Structure formats: C-alpha cells, structure tokens
Chain A
Amino acid sequence: MRLQEPEDTVSFTFDGQSIRGVPGEPVAAALMAAGVKLVARSFKYHRPRGIMSAGSEEQNALVTVGRGAQAEPNVRATVLEVSAGLEVFSQNAWPSLKYDVMAVNDLMAPFLGAGFYYKTFMWPKAFWEKLYEPIIRRAAGLGGLSGQPNADRYEKAFAFCDVLIIGGGPAGLMAALTAGRAGADIILADEDTAMGGRLLREVEDIDGQPAADWVEEALVELRALPNVRLMTRTTVTGAYDQGTYGALERIAGPRHIDKPLECFWRVVAKRAILSAGALERPIAFPDNDRPGVMMASAVRSYVNRWGVAPGKTVAVFGNNDDAHRTAHDLAAAGITVAALIDSRPDIQAEGDFEVLSNATVTATKGRHALEGITVTQDGEAREIPVDCLAISGGWNPTVHLTCHMNGRPTWREDIASFVPTPDSIPGMVTAGACNGAFTTAACLKEGAEAAADVARGLGLKPKVTVPAADERAYKIAPLWAMPGKGRKWIDFQNDVHVKDINLAAQENFRSVEHMKRYTTQGMAPDQGKSSNVVALAVLADATGRGIPETGTTTFRPPFVPVSIAAMGAGSQGKGFAPERLTTSHHASVARGAPMIEAGLWYRPSYFPQQGETYWRQSCDREVGYVRNAVGVCDVSTLGKIDIQGPDAAALLDFVYVNMFSTLKQGRVRYGLMLREDGHVMDDGTTARLGPEHFVMTTTTAAAGQVMRHLEFALQVLRPDLDARIASVTEQWAQFAVAGPRSRALLNAVLDARLTDADWPFMACGDVAVAGVAGRLFRISFSGEHAYELAVPARYGASLFRLLTAQAETLGGGAYGMEALNVLRIEKGFITHAEIHGRVTAFDIGMDRMISRKKDCIGQTAAARSGLMSEEREQLVGLKPVGAVKQLTAGAYLFEPGAAAERINSQGYTTSEAYSPTLKTGLALGFLKRGRARHGEVIRMVDHLREIEAKVEVCDPVFFDPDGGRARG
C-alpha cells in the first residue's frame, strides 16, 4: 500500500504479474506497495520468504531479472531499480513460487540438520555420482544462469584521488564537505541511488532543518566543488595494497543493451575514510523468517523514504531504543502499531500504541505471509494478529573493508558489536556508525574530524564546523536467540538456525571457523553481514565462552557480490589478449592462408592454391618450393634484440654457452642459451653488425623471456658491463628467402648483386632494396641455401609482395608454418617442442658447445650429476619401419617386447611430420641413451590416438646430414 499516490509510475512484471512502480525506486518497494508478500524461496528448506531489508544486505528477496542471455540471477529486489518493462522472476521454486515442490524439504527438516550429508549417501559407492549428487545439485543453488553467452556491456576503469570516502551518510557527507572545502581531490562513493545514507530514512533535524534538506544542501555544495567526484550506485567492494580499492558502479537508468550495465573501478587513493554506516541485525526466535518479518530500520526506509506501508498492522520488536523510532514513524504515517515489544525491562516510550517491556516474540504464524505473532511477557503468552513485524537486534558497524587485509575487529561490550581495529588498512580511517558512533551528531563530528586529519596529512588546512544534530543515545541490552523449541533462523539465506549451531558445538565444531564450515553459516550471498554476530553469540553461549574469545570469521572481498562480467570486462571474445599482426598479415589472409596463434602473434599455416583440398597438399608443395626452388616466409615474429656497447660481446659470452667475442663483424653464429639452473632456455642466431653492435634473434615463444633475461644479466648480475639492449622485434620486418634459387631471387630485388665470395654461409651485412636500407643474414632454418632479409617494418608489406611475386617467377612462392615445421624436422632443427624446459645441452647433443674458457649463465648448474647422466633421454630421429607409417608427437617409446607401461618407458616423441622430400613420416624424440642406439628398432605407442608403430632410431638430421646444401 502506498502512503501517497505517486505521480509517475511505470509497469514491470513479477512472475508475469504486472506491477506499477516509480522509476528508480527499489523493486522491493513496488512489490510491497502492490501487496506482494511472498517473493522468494529459501535455499535449503524452500521456506516462503519475503522482503527483509532495504539494502544490499538483503537475505531473502533475491530474484532473477530479464530473460534469455540477459537474464541475471540472484539480484537483490531491495537494490534493483524499477524501470518500465522490467521483467522480474522469482527463483529456486518449481512449479511456482506459491506451490513449490521442494518445500517438502521443510517437512524433512528434522533429518536435514547441519552436516547431515557427511554422514550418509555413501552406499553403494557408485550412487554418489549417479544418484545422490545429481539430486543434491538440482535441489541446491538459487537462481540459474541462462547458459547463453553474456550479451550485455560491462566496463572497467581506473580512478585516482587524494581521498576516497566510502559511504555518503552523515559521516561521509561531513567528511566530503570538510576535506572538499580544504581542496582535497575527493571521490565520495555510495552504493545507494542517492547520497544521504540513513538520513534518507530517518525523521530528524540537522542544523535546525529536516535532515533530507541538509543532505540536499550539502550535495549542492559538493557538486559545485571541482575537486569532488560524487559516485552514487557505487559500492566499494574491496581494500587492497597501497591504497588500491575495487568499486562496482551500477549504471543508472533502465537496462539497455547500448550502454554498460556495470563498471568495475580500480580506485587508487592516497587516503581513505570509511563511513559505511551500520547494518541492523535480526533476533533469532521461532519462525522468524515468515514473509512480513522485516528489519525495523528497513520498515522506516519503506515508510519514510519510499512512501510504502509494509503492512496494515505492524508490531515492532527490539532490544534497543532505535527500534522505537520505527513505532513512532509508523504511527506518524497512520499505520496501526499493534505493539512495541521491547526485551528490556521498564521501557518508557511515548506513543499512541501499546508498549510491552520485558517482552519477547516467541512464535509467528502464517505460511505465505505473516498473520500473527505470539508475545511472551512475564511467562504469559498472547497472540497478536499482525501482517508485519519489524525487528531490531541492534546494529553491526559495517567493518568489512577493514578486515580485507586480515584485520580483526574489536568487540565493544557497550554496543554489543564489533568495531574496526584502528590501522587495519594502511591509510584508512573510520568514522561514524561503522566506527560504533551511532548518533547523527557523533557521525557528523567523526566525519568532520577524520576528514580534517586526513586533509592535514595531505598538507591542506581544513576547517572543522559541525552542525547541530540528533544526539539520542543508543541503548541496547543484548538479545540474540530466544530459548525454547522451534527453528530460529540466524542465516536466513543458507537456512542456518540456532539448533544447527548447537549441533556443531555438540560435535566439537567449536572453533568459529569449524562452526561456519560445518553449518554453512555466513557462506550465503550476504556472507553473514546480518547474521554472523548473532551466530557467534549463539556459539559462544553453546561453548561457554564470551564472544571476544569465540572470535570471528574473516570478512573477505568483495563486500557485495561482483559479476564476473564486470571484473572481466573487455575480455569477452578477442579482448582477452592483444593480437600481434605481422606486416604480411593482410597479404597472407588475402591469399587464403589460415592464420594460427603463435603466442600473441598470428602466422600463416599454409597458402592454399586452387584445387588443393587438404592442408598436406599445400604443405608438401611449399616444402618443395624450398627444397627445389625458393620459398618466402615471414619470420618477423622471432624476437630481435639490438645489443650495443663496448661490452656487448662480453654480455653475449655471458648469456650464451658458446663464444661470441670471437665472432667477426659481418658474421652470424648460432647460440644456445641456458637458464641459470642449467637447462636450455632458448636458441637463435646472433649477428655482429659492428665492433660493438650485435643483433640477436630469439624464438617467437621466448622473445619476452629472453629480453627480460638479458636485462637481468646486465642489470642484476653484471652491472659492470657497459652495454645496452633494446627489443627491435616490432621495428624490423624479416623474411626468410630459402632454397636453391634464393640468391637468384635476391639478386632480382636487391640494389647490389650478391656473390658467394662476399656472402658465404653465416655472413651478414647491410643491403638495399629499391633504395631502402635493410639487413641481410645468410642463415638457414631449412637446411637450404637461404637468407633472411630485414627491412624497417613500414616496408614489410611491400617487400613481402615483392619477394613472393619474384619467388613465383622462379617456380617458388610463399610458405607457411606447416612447411617450415616439416623443413626443420627434416633437418633435425629443434624448437620449443624439443627444448621444452626440461632438456639440457647434453640431451640435445650440444654439450660440447659449452665453452670452458669462460663462465656463462647455467654453466655451473648444467654440470650437476643429474644433468649429465648417461641415462638421460637424448634427442634422436625416428623413422617408421613397420606396417604403420603414421608417427605422432606425444607418444612413448618402448623396447619391442615390453608392455607399454610407465616403468618400461624409454622415451617419447616431440615432433612429427610427413617428409615429402624423403617420402616418409619422421619424428623427433628423446630416448634413453639415444645417441648410442642409432639403428635400433623400437616401439612407438600412442594410446590416445591408438597408434603403435615400429620405428628405427637414427640421427635427428634426416636430410643432407653434412649440410652441403646450406653452404653451397
């Protein structure tokens, strides 16, 4: 029922029923106005539940919003804003909210106590996965995901400020005014749709005017300050190191596909003021979970702020003065107050309603909606018909953020609550209700003083002026759980009641962490915001300890649930990682080449020609180009590192196992690089372009790692060396030109002709292509007479076109990764398939490359006995010699008669290819004592692909073993 008729309403639906609501008000308010009491079903017992709170702490009223890919489960109806056409659905009920089959669990409740599932469902064993677990899984869970890919927009952003003020209630507003007037750069964030915190719901004065007017004045002033950013609908979700905070902003207005739903903020603040207020806690009495039982402060919110009556006849039950406000406000709004029930003796309250001191609520009735309560006073029970019960067990300061860095809150006996322990978060101070200061006057004062302190710390000169405000003291007599029978809910969301906690204690789950984990107390979507302190008190009572000794569980981020889409914004689809494209990318795509991922790069797999229907046809043809004519391949993705300085050669000697200081200018050398632990890190060629100038190439995969490694060697290990390095991978486009006609091709495009005398194998130097200065390296990854030609990247695309066109006139063309792989396997050249991080120079037959004339990274560790053992698996070639010609990578090697089991393993394969050159399948692999076993016939077994082949062990260089083709 609405207290005043609103001007503008829109309609939305709840389970198909059309409801009128005011745009921007919480769906909970509109449902309440429409008389909807039953909103949800509970998690375990499927109990009927209604609306309990007026904020993000809501335990009961979780709903699903929208349909299809836009459906969002587990949204709090108390936070969700009404907009036209919004579709809201109840969840965790079947076939309907009113008639929910799973409510049978409530009847079974005596058998479903805390942890019952640990004690049964064990027989027969196979039934767990087949029967018990599927039933449990189907019964569990709240809302459901649509199963369709997210179709909404989410964003992420960074923000920086001097002071982050968390919570825009009286303390936060006063802090913002104080620090803002002093000139500090401020972000004031509040999760509500409007600033003001509890001033939005309370009837009281500040500075002689209604609190709401004071809030509006404060906001006018703050909005006018250029150094203040006001962020409503923004919940600060976590506190992290060095003043970093996470915050989730719900974007205002109707949910549209063309604007983000949420933005996840990373806020970096020099200082922070936590003024997050407090949350009211319930009292555990039998059947305290009926729809219509609400928090007393929430009732005030609905009545005073949203103009909605939560019931026609309302009783108020509390243990503190604050609850009395609810009775007064209800009466003032013309709603019948059936009774004010206070557990404390001798309570005086003025009002046009019955006041029952020393009285408690001991039962409720009504199934889908509250119909009445039983009040017990002096041992006498009496029933009072009500349709709403407002309860208050006192207030818990919102200490959560102060616990995010393992801080533990401190128990304060006078307010029967935990308050933040100072300095729990470096740079953060707390003020107001979250600090245990519950009067408005105290909130304003603490907010102003905290902000003044912070501002002074920033070198500013704040002035503190605090307006006069309500100073009504908050008196409370702790009341946690009623004695007697019946289920008394504590954690409404996870259906944990007093007996569960007592059972945990009885079974020796006495540690608060054990109790939590055994009963699931505090593990529901609200993470025990409202219920944890009550549960602690019950556990303390059951174990004969005080609350401080019982201790607390840890509040961890996020403060409110954060959607994965918000925190992972930008990554859906291709956004997860950058895409690196070579200069020949578009030309390759235009030629129909399938582009495959190579780290962050894309490289062409092969270049299909008309009539080719299978990748192998293209690959074999491209291999033929290189073996018989000339092929062109973009190798720009290989890492290129420019190394200069008087000690450049010394640096290379230190990072490579072999000598580079002896390398002559104009020459290239193959180098092998170890990690300091003696295993192979990477390999590549390094060219000496000048006396103090080298350019190193790395594999595509290890380019970043090698760059980091060189900087490490230079800055950390050998700062004495005078050398500088720079990654130039992006600056140069580089193409392999490989095959017997490679020189012919180059001579057609280079400004000056190449001769064998000037350009022997492993030569390098400057060249020019159509006037563009480039570099040429006579190196080969195919075993053929070959070059790599590099030009500044801006010329890469045209050079690729030029080279491929020329190659085609010479009977060749472009080749891709598949052909490149075949060519290198034919030659036994290794890639990271072989140097996979566990192999040594010894394993790949390169231990003799390790120069003994100098120290290098990895040399000492490589000499460890385990890394030199003859028993190690060594690189070999493998050729099929039986009926099965297909070899695979990732298969294992066995003696012919041995079972294919771990204990018999002799080694494994790493790479395989069909060699069109040799007309056979080939594989590289590692075999125990492999170098001594050439000629042996063994078994290759691939269980997964169901392939078993007889293979002959041979030298890994299958083709042109003496290397004449590359040198010729």
Chain B
Amino acid sequence: MTYSGFRVIKEGLFGQSGWKPVWRDPDPKPEYDALIIGGGGHGLATAYYLAKEHGLTNIAVLEKGYIGGGNVGRNTTIVRANYFLPGNSEFYSHSLKLWEGMEQELNYNVMHSQRGLINLFHSDGQRDAFARRGNAMINQGDDAILLDTGGVRKILPYLDFDNARFPIYGGLYHPRGGTARHDAVAWGYARGADQRGVDIIQNCEVTGIDIEGGVVKGVQTTRGAIKAKKVGIVVAGRSGQVAEMAGMRLPIESHVLQAFVTEGLKPVIDHVVSFGMGHFYISQSDKGGLVFGGDLDFYSSYAARGNLPMKEHVMEAAMTLMPMIGKAKVLRSWGGIMDMTPDGSPIIDKTLTDGLFIDCGWCYGGFKAVPGSGFSFAHLMATGQHHAPAAGFRLDRFRDGVGLMDEEGTGSQHNLH
C-alpha cells in the first residue's frame, strides 16, 4: 500500500477502513538466512537495508517487547552530521544523506526537519575548538557556518546575551542539522522491511545464542529455537547481556540519559540549540512541546529513569541561557539506557564467532545514526566486509589504541563522553 495525500483523502471519505497493518505479525519460522536481534531503529534499518541493498529477504527481526521501544522511542530526535574526527565524520555524513532521502525512499513521513542546529560557544578556546569542528565538517563535504555573537543574535534573539553567566561568543551553525519524528523512523523502516518480506517478530526475547565450533548456528528465544547462519546483535541498552550469551564482554558501561518535554506551545524555538557550557540542548517539536536534555546522570544504570540533580541542572542551564522559557512547564521526563564506550564512539564489527556480528555502543548519539548504522551493518553482515564509512568502528581499537575516536577528549572513562 502506497501512502499519499490522495490516499489519505480517499480513506477519509470511506471511514479509514482501507488502511492495512503497517507491518505483519508473523510467527517465527524455524530457520532464516539471517537474524537481527533487536527491533529498535538500528535493527529495523539493518533489516531494511539487508533486504533492499543485498536482496536478503528470508530474514527476521527478533524483538523482546514492541518494536521501536528502546532509544529510538525515547530520544531528543536530533539529526546532525557535525563530528570532526576521521571515522566519525564520514559515517555521520553518510547517515545524514540517507536521512535526506528517507521519506521518499520509505514512503513514510518521518518529519525530518532540517531546521538548523547551532552549537554555542563561550570562550576563545571553545570558538577555536568549534572552528576545527566546522572546518572538518566542510572538509567532509558537509555544511558549517561560524557565527559571531551578532550572527547568533540574529538567529536566536531570545538568548540572554547580556546577563548570562557564560557570555555567548558565537556559534557553529549546521544548517542541515535538525530533528525528526523519532517513533516514525522505526515504523517507517519496519514497514519498508516488512514490504520486502522481512519477518518482524515482536514479544520474542532471545535467551541464548547457539554457537558450535566457533560458528553461530542460531538463537534460542521465548518463542522457540530459530536457526540462522548469520546473527546480528543490535540491542543498545542491553548489549552486554546479549553479548554475554555469546561469551563476549564489551567495552560498554550502561548509563541513564534523561530527556524532557514541555506542554505544547506556539512556535518559539525554530532551531536546535546546544549550550556547550551547560550541557543543555533544545528544540521544539512540531506538536509544540519543547524537547530538551542535558548530560548523563553519570552513574551506571539500567533503570531508564533518572534523579533530580541532573533534572535541576538541565533546567538551570535553560534558565541562564534562554530565560524566556521559564514559564514553559515540563510535562514528562524519562530516561534512556546508553551504551557508553571508552571513546564515545560506536562499534560495528564482526565478533570472534563466525557469522555473529555486533552493532552497539552508540552512547547518546544513536538516533541520527539509525540509517547509517543500518546501512553499514547490513553491508557488513551481507558481505563480510566493513562498509567504508563505518570501517573505523572496530572493537579492537581500544586494546591497540589505533583509531580511537574520542571527540570529547575525556579518555577511557565511559561516562565522560
């Protein structure tokens, strides 16, 4: 079924009775060519690109709960390509290009809105660091503009330019950065994969990974054993538990990152704004809610909820930066479980088990990576070769120190990225 404005009108006239399930709910088959463990954004995108780019359609996505219930369903929806270290630059650049064609490709409106992202800086040193970032973005072929205070004032007149504790020296403007409707991305990929024959199996928890002689044979699930020659683990937030089924220990510590949304308000913030000194970023959803967040709660956690100190810190940052949002009221706060790695960059790699692949460690940057990660992981699973833009995301980089991608420069302490 193709979606279109015409179709919406037609169905409106006929009581919406013609809409079909967006994806089927098949029972698992005993065997597939490949299995994806994890029906989040990355897993669904992987399945979609395996089917579309590599013709692998006898595959299944195994999801222990409902699809899109992990971080793709609980993030702050920011899409950007503003990394500066080799390995990250090319990957996020590729991912952003996939975003730019996603809606037409999937025939699903994920409301990808390239409204522009501005990273504010507050000292000469920060300006130079952001200049390096912006120059790296342009080296990569992406877009960046260095704004001085006046330039920021023109775009974001509502910031506190006169009184803030950390004055605004300027900003790095990334016009192609923006937001998207997060849940829709999962649903769009699910629909696209389903249309190509992929079985999306919900309420199917993987309880074991079958390995014989160093070769993966399939998985055990709450809905029975399923055989497959290739298995991909894409379970951000549970990476350690699933990897353990294959005897692996990962360079990951799980942390909680909180996010917040206010009541619906008339349009007031037209961009994505990020406040470096205060670890605060904000955008306004199309529904009108201000969506914002800050830093990790900093203690390892699987609770998907946080505590007051970071909530207050985030609100304090909001009040010093843009005191005009003081009377917006927070409606809901939630937490996501972040796979924090020792350099703040992800992992897309083979494992020591033949046929077993892993995609994890997205820290708190996984949402914008959904298409790129799916594309590159599908490439790796299908061909056995690393996809060039993601070739740096190796597991062994930590042991050898080769190709570390520590954008924050904070070192191997997981929670500092």
Touch A–B, Cβ below 8 Å: yes
In the complex, what residues of B have CB within 8 A of residue A145's CB? 265-266, 268, 324-325, 327-328
Q: Which of A121, A513, A902 contacts B140 (CB 8 A)?
A: A902
Q: Report Cα–Cα, A581/B215, bound state, in Å.
A: 63
Q: Report Cα–Cα, A140/B288, bound state, in Å.
A: 6
Q: Is A244 an interface residue (CB 8 A)?
A: yes
Q: Report Cα–Cα, A559/B358, bound state, in Å.
A: 39
Q: Which residue of B lies closest to A405 (CB)?
A: B305
A890 contacts B264, C-beta separation under 8 Å: no
CB distance from A183 to the nearest CB of B (A): 29
Q: Is A933 an interface residue (CB 8 A)?
A: no
A147 contacts B165, C-beta separation under 8 Å: no
A596 contacts B131, C-beta separation under 8 Å: no
B130 contacts A890, C-beta separation under 8 Å: yes
Check A563/B288 contact, CB under 8 A, given A576-B165, A833-B128.
no
Q: Which residue of A lies closest to B86 (CB)?
A: A902
Q: Kindly name the residue among A119, A514, A833, A942 whose own CB sees the greatest number of chain B CB atoms within 10 A.
A: A119
| Stretch of A16-24, A26-34, A758-766, A864-872 with 4 or more beta carbons under 8 angstroms from chain B | A864-872
Q: Which residue of B lies closest to A900 (CB)?
A: B139
Q: Kindly name the residue among A71, A573, A832 whose own CB sees the greatest number of chain B CB atoms within 10 A.
A: A573
Q: Is B329 an interface residue (CB 8 A)?
A: yes
CB distance from A140 to the nearest CB of B (A): 5
B103 contacts A869, C-beta separation under 8 Å: no
A119 contacts B7, C-beta separation under 8 Å: yes
Q: Kindly name the residue among B68, B181, B267 whose own CB sees the greatest number of chain A CB atoms within 10 A.
A: B267
Q: Which residue of A lies closest to B12 (CB)?
A: A111
B111 contacts A563, C-beta separation under 8 Å: no
Q: Is A558 an interface residue (CB 8 A)?
A: yes
B319 contacts A565, C-beta separation under 8 Å: yes
In the complex, what residues of B have CB within 8 A of residue A120's CB? 3-5, 7-8, 109
In the complex, what residues of B have CB within 8 A of residue A152's CB? 326-327
B66 contacts A513, C-beta separation under 8 Å: yes
In the complex, what residues of A have CB within 8 A of residue B146's CB? 944-945
Q: Is A218 an interface residue (CB 8 A)?
A: no
CB 8 Å contact bits of A886-929 with B (1 = contact, 0 = none): 00111110000000111001001011000000000000000000
CB distance from B158 to the nearest CB of A (A): 6
Q: Report Cα–Cα, A568/B187, bound state, in Å.
A: 36
In the complex, what residues of A have CB within 8 A of residue B111's CB? 117, 128, 133
CB 8 Å contact bits of A506-536 with B (1 = contact, 0 = none): 1111110110011010011101000000000
In the complex, what residues of B have CB within 8 A of residue A511's CB? 65-66, 69, 202
Within 8 A of A (CB), among B1-43: 3-5, 7-9, 11-13, 15-16, 19-25
CB 8 Å contact bits of A139-153 with B (1 = contact, 0 = none): 011111111111010
B315 contacts A147, C-beta separation under 8 Å: no
Q: Is B383 an interface residue (CB 8 A)?
A: no
A837 contacts B410, C-beta separation under 8 Å: yes
Q: How many residues of B contact A (CB 8 A)?
A: 123
How many A-B contacts if CB must be within 8 Å? Answer: 372
Check A509/B22 contact, CB under 8 A, given A117-B109, A137-B286, A527-B331.
yes
CB 8 Å contact bits of B276-319 with A (1 = contact, 0 = none): 00100000101110000000000000011101100110111111
Q: Which of A156, A527, A944 contacts B144 (CB 8 A)?
A: A944
In the complex, what residues of A have CB within 8 A of residue B326's CB? 149-150, 152, 154, 563-565, 568, 572
A525 contacts B16, C-beta separation under 8 Å: no
In the complex, what residues of B have CB within 8 A of residue A117's CB? 109, 111
CB distance from A525 to the nearest CB of B (A): 5
Interface residues on chain A, size class = 35 or more
Q: Which of A138, A837, A889 contacts B411 (CB 8 A)?
A: A837
Within 8 A of A (CB), among B121-161: 122-125, 127-136, 138-141, 144-146, 158, 160
In the complex, what residues of A have CB within 8 A of residue B207's CB? none
A525 contacts B288, C-beta separation under 8 Å: no
In the complex, what residues of B have CB within 8 A of residue A503's CB? 16, 19
Q: Is A621 an interface residue (CB 8 A)?
A: no
A110 contacts B12, C-beta separation under 8 Å: yes
A902 contacts B139, C-beta separation under 8 Å: yes
Q: Is B223 an interface residue (CB 8 A)?
A: no
CB distance from B123 to the nearest CB of A (A): 6
CB 8 Å contact bits of A376-415 with B (1 = contact, 0 = none): 0000000000000000000000000000111000000000
A905 contacts B139, C-beta separation under 8 Å: yes
A72 contacts B333, C-beta separation under 8 Å: no
Q: Which residue of A lies closest to B144 (CB)?
A: A944
B267 contacts A116, C-beta separation under 8 Å: no
Q: Is A698 an interface residue (CB 8 A)?
A: no
Q: Report Cα–Cα, A574/B162, bound state, in Å.
A: 10
Q: Report Cα–Cα, A149/B134, bound state, in Å.
A: 31
Q: Report Cα–Cα, A564/B68, bound state, in Å.
A: 29
Q: Which of B141, B288, B411 contacts A679 (CB 8 A)?
A: B411
In the complex, what residues of A have CB within 8 A of residue B107's CB? 122
Q: Which residue of A lies closest to B106 (CB)?
A: A122
Q: Report Cα–Cα, A877/B266, bound state, in Å.
A: 53
Q: Report Cα–Cα, A134/B111, bound state, in Å.
A: 12
In the complex, what residues of B have CB within 8 A of residue A964's CB? none
Q: Which of B181, B187, B267 contacts A137 (CB 8 A)?
A: B267
Check A122/B327 contact, CB under 8 A, given A142-B263, A527-B332.
no
CB distance from A185 to the nearest CB of B (A): 21
A944 contacts B135, C-beta separation under 8 Å: yes
Q: Kindly name the residue among B7, B22, B329 whose own CB sees the greatest number of chain A CB atoms within 10 A.
A: B329
CB distance from B162 to the nearest CB of A (A): 9
In the complex, what residues of B have CB within 8 A of residue A833's CB? 125, 128
| Stretch of A447-455, A670-678, A799-807 with 4 or more beta carbons under 8 angstroms from chain B | A670-678
Q: Report Cα–Cα, A266/B309, bound state, in Å.
A: 10
A137 contacts B288, C-beta separation under 8 Å: yes
Q: Is B220 an interface residue (CB 8 A)?
A: no
| Stretch of B240-248, B365-373, B401-409 with 4 or more beta carbons under 8 angstroms from chain A | B401-409
Q: Which of A111, A123, A598, A943 contacts B9 (CB 8 A)?
A: A111
B183 contacts A564, C-beta separation under 8 Å: no
Q: Is A539 an interface residue (CB 8 A)?
A: no
B318 contacts A138, C-beta separation under 8 Å: no
B330 contacts A561, C-beta separation under 8 Å: yes
Q: Report Cα–Cα, A147/B187, bound state, in Å.
A: 35
In the complex, what residues of B have CB within 8 A of residue A911's CB? 128
A146 contacts B324, C-beta separation under 8 Å: yes
Q: Report Cα–Cα, A465/B112, bound state, in Å.
A: 62
CB 8 Å contact bits of A426-450 with B (1 = contact, 0 = none): 0000000000000000000000000
Q: Is B397 an interface residue (CB 8 A)?
A: yes
Q: Is A7 an interface residue (CB 8 A)?
A: no
In the complex, what residues of B have CB within 8 A of residue A129's CB? 113-115
Q: Which residue of A lies closest to B319 (CB)?
A: A568
Q: Is B355 an interface residue (CB 8 A)?
A: no
Q: Is A214 an interface residue (CB 8 A)?
A: no
Q: Is A853 an interface residue (CB 8 A)?
A: no
CB distance from B122 to the nearest CB of A (A): 7
CB distance from A546 to the nearest CB of B (A): 16
A561 contacts B331, C-beta separation under 8 Å: yes
In the complex, what residues of B have CB within 8 A of residue A679's CB? 411
A–B complex contacts, Cβ < 8 Å, 16 sampled: A73-B265, A118-B109, A119-B8, A128-B109, A141-B288, A561-B331, A564-B315, A564-B318, A564-B326, A571-B315, A571-B320, A574-B163, A575-B320, A864-B402, A891-B131, A945-B146
Residues of A within 8 A of B (CB): 43, 71-74, 110-113, 116-123, 125, 128-129, 133-134, 136-138, 140-150, 152, 154, 156, 238, 240-241, 244, 246, 264, 266, 404-406, 499, 503, 506-511, 513-514, 517-518, 520, 523-525, 527, 556-558, 561-565, 567-577, 579, 596-598, 675-679, 681, 832-833, 836-838, 861, 864-867, 869, 888-892, 900-902, 905, 908, 910-911, 941-945
Apart from A564-B330, A571-B317, A866-B403, what are 17 other A-B pairs with CB-CB below 8 Å? A113-B12, A121-B109, A141-B264, A144-B268, A148-B324, A150-B327, A244-B307, A513-B69, A517-B183, A563-B326, A568-B314, A576-B166, A597-B167, A677-B412, A833-B128, A836-B409, A901-B140
Which 3 pairs from chain A and chain B are nearest by CB?
A: A837-B409, A890-B131, A141-B288
